[in-house]
Amino acid sequence: MIEITFPDGSKKKYNKGISVLEILKELPQKVQHEALAAKINEKSEKLNDKANEKLVDLSAKLNRNAILKIITFNDKEGVEVFRHSTAHVLAQAVTELYPYAKLTIGPVVDEGFYYDIEHEPFTPEDLIKIESKMKEIVDRKTPIERTELTKKEAKEMFKDNKYKLEMIEEMNDTASIGGTGGMGGAGGSGEAISAYKQGEFIDLCRGPHVPHTGIIKSFKLMKIAGAYWRGDQKNKQLQRIYGISFPDRKMLANYLHILEEAKKRDHRILGKRLELFSFHDEGKGFPFFLNNGIIIWNELLNFWREEHKKAGYIEIKTPVILSKTLWETSGHWSYYRDNMYTLKIDDEENAIKPMNCPGGFLVYKEKLHSYRELPLRIGEIGHVHRHELSGVLSGLFRVRAFHQDDAHIFMTKEQITSEVLDVLRLAEKFYRTFGLDYHLELSTRPVKSVGTDEQWEQATKGLKDALDSTGKLYKINEGDGAFYGPKIDLHIKDAIGRTWQCGTIQLDMAMPDRFDLNYEDKDGTKHRPVMIHRVIYGSMERFFGVLIEHFAGKFPLWLSPVQVRILTVSDQFNEYGVTLKNLFEAENIRVDVDSRTESVPKKVRDAQMDLIPLVLTVGEKETSSNTVAIRTLDGQVKFGVGTDEFVRKVKEIIKSKAIEMKL
């Protein structure tokens, strides 16, 4: 008999050799229906011990005491298993339709999955055929079975596929190759090579996979692209087919709806149309902010500075270029060198900073701090540079130079919970101002880490106590913390339901030691401060991009580059329009005048295309009565509003940073 422990701590004995599927029959119907794979831990009795967990098929047999967790689409691993299984269905469909096609690799990626195939270029019509064939394969409900091959058997089986043979050749006796099937590659110990069969189709793969093809109920092939074998331009160009899949049709429909909405909100398109920012070949990955963009940028900065001053932060600015020795002390030179831009100054090796922290530590070390100064909150809007590969650059979301709203908080151990709580309150104020909802995740000690058990326990407890005191739900990611400490991540949700990881609160137990940071206690002895790294915007460039898409370019009044546009009915009212412009500018309201000899309806349409929040029409009636006619971007219309009343109301809306205007 063996004893199986479940995630809730309950235990039950079973006969040796029982499969996960057989155990699953005793679990609730909902779990049975949603199960895709399982995680087992046969080496430790500790729940959530990620180091000893193994992802397996539901058909896997258990022969020793183990901790068992059923994996569903709600788990990251479940999504990967489901989508990689879909990639195998895609591969089978291609080989059934085009027998001479050569399969290579088919991994899961952030946007779904893909499979690279040697074949003449596929057409959109081909995708329709492949998708139809995939539906046939799903309807067959063919079992997906794991099998193991020797190297010799694998070579014989894939003798007509030079790509698979190349990967098989690269396998050694103790390690597996990566990428064959996208779930880490085929492999095993010794000469064992794992593969998965579904009917007549077989592909090298580590797995695991869903039990049968019928589980993959909802999918769509998204696009075709070219890709070189192993990313090398010297190799043959392959055809890459991208797809997405979900356990039910509603999830797919919602995903496709979000994609359509995202196209309308694409910050790259809106950024160009609204003249916010641009990119140029002369500086790939380095954004140029235009005047309209700088107006919004400065409003975001002003808001940040105002709120941080209220919260007791001081602001510093550290150099962009610092010496190699500093980056060696911080560890970046060893672990991050490939992502850093370096240069020589006076024959000394230097680097453009990829992070702000080391410069901040030098500022802290300028004098010995007293316990009375703690907590010490030091903020910096630091300009950092990181070398990103050209293929991953994406508008403001992925750039090579960006600004981080970093802050480093130095404190005593006793101040951890209260300081974390203050950061969470500050983050909430920021996100609520922009109408962004968010959720929290706590990541705990990873397998490889620095610091003692006691330090980790105290640090994790400090973060957990702060989260508990908020009364908010949060997710725990066991083992996903940074090597230097546990962390809280804040994931914001935009107007169409997409989530973005922006804010983070990280406890660091490595850098105070590396930089010999101290404070003087009541008795005159020196102690290490506890340190928090934290950001709220994260990357300001990325947050800017998120806001463009969240608001679809229709910024709230306080952020809008042009807050008011005055439309004159004809030339004889231009003077009144200019008078109003001067009046509004004196009250720090951003305004322009459209005095073109165009019809009023055309001027209104143009203002709407420019996403101007407030449009004022002035003609004979308004000029004679010193009033304005107001039209808002969301369709509100109001006539005969006095200029003083209008200015008062606009200033009130701007000051409150209201998202919606009510005139």
CA 65 centroid distance within chain:
38
- Given a cut of 90, is residue 663 above it in pLDDT? no
Tell me the average pLDDT across 340-350: 95
Annotated catalytic residue, options 92, 240, 267, 357: 357
Taking only the tens place, the pLDDT of each residue in 532-546 is 999 999 999 999 999
Find out whether 523 and 499 touch, Cβ atoms under 8 Å.
no
The CA-atom distances, in angstroms, between 240 and each of 91, 221, 224, 326 are: 11, 11, 6, 44
Give pLDDT, residue 172: 60
How much of the chain, in percent, has pLDDT values that exceed 70? 97
Annotated catalytic residue, options 265, 308, 385, 533: 533
CB count within 10 Å of CB 95 equals: 18
Give every CB contact of residue 217 below 8 A, 6+ residues apart in sequence: 138, 246, 247, 248, 249
CB count within 10 Å of CB 570 equals: 11
Taking only the tens place, the pLDDT of each residue in 621-639 is 999 999 999 999 988 999 9
Q: State yes or no: is 386 an active-site residue.
A: yes
How much of the chain, in percent, has pLDDT values that exceed 90? 81
Backbone angles phi, psi at 467, to 5 degrees: -65, -45
Domain-by-domain residue ranges, the chain? 2-72, 77-251, 277-318+373-551, 564-656
Q: Give 8 or 302, the one with higher predicted confidence.
A: 302
Annotated catalytic residue, options 377, 386, 542, 565: 386
CA 386 centroid distance within chain:
17
Taking only the tens place, the pLDDT of each residue in 550-565 is 999 999 999 999 999 9
Distance CA 216, CA 316 (A): 54
Distance CA 407, CA 430 (A): 15
Q: State yes or no: is 533 an active-site residue.
A: yes
Give every CB contact of residue 309 below 8 A, 6+ residues apart in sequence: none
Look up residue 462 and give its DSSP letter: H
Give every CB contact of residue 138 below 8 A, 6+ residues apart in sequence: 89, 213, 214, 216, 217
Give pLDDT, residue 458: 86
Q: State yes or no: is 455 an active-site residue.
A: no
Give pLDDT, residue 186: 52
Find out whether 37 and 56 touch, Cβ atoms under 8 Å.
yes
Taking only the tens place, the pLDDT of each residue in 477-522 is 888 888 888 999 999 999 888 899 899 999 988 899 999 999 999 9
Q: Which of 340, 354, 414 is nearest to 383 (CA)?
A: 354
Annotated catalytic residue, options 83, 164, 408, 542: 408
Give CATH for domain 564-656. 3.40.50.800
Neighbouring-strand partners of residue 61:
19
Superfamily for the 77-251 domain: Threonyl-trna Synthetase; Chain A, domain 2 (3.30.980.10)
Tell me the average pLDDT across 4-30: 91
Q: What is the pTM of this model?
A: 0.83
Distance CA 554, CA 556 (A): 7
Taking only the tens place, the pLDDT of each residue in 131-187 is 999 999 999 999 999 999 999 999 999 999 999 999 998 876 433 333 344 443 455
Q: Which of 523, 493, 655, 524 is nearest to 588 (CA)?
A: 655
Residue 372's region, left for phi above 0, alpha for psi from -120 to 50, else beta, is alpha
Find out whether 171 and 177 touch, Cβ atoms under 8 Å.
yes
Burial of 226 (0-12, 13-18, 19+ CB in 10 A): exposed
Distance CA 598, CA 600 (A): 6
Q: How confident is the model at residue 191 (pLDDT cuts 50, 70, 90)?
A: low
Annotated catalytic residue, options 406, 489, 508, 610: 406
Give pLDDT, residue 483: 80
Give CATH for domain 277-318+373-551. 3.30.930.10
Taking only the tens place, the pLDDT of each residue in 421-471 is 999 999 999 999 999 999 999 999 888 887 888 888 888 998 999 999 998
Annotated catalytic residue, options 92, 198, 239, 404: 404
Annotated catalytic residue, options 385, 398, 487, 631: 487
Q: State yes or no: is 572 an active-site residue.
A: no
Mean residue pLDDT across the chain: 92
Give pLDDT, residue 44: 74
Q: State yes or no: is 57 an active-site residue.
A: no
- Given a cut of 60, is residue 36 above it in pLDDT? yes
Tell me the average pLDDT across 410-415: 93
Q: State yes or no: is 408 an active-site residue.
A: yes
Q: State yes or no: is 236 an active-site residue.
A: no
Same fold, 2-72 and 564-656: no
We find that the CATH architecture of domain 2-72 is Roll (3.10)
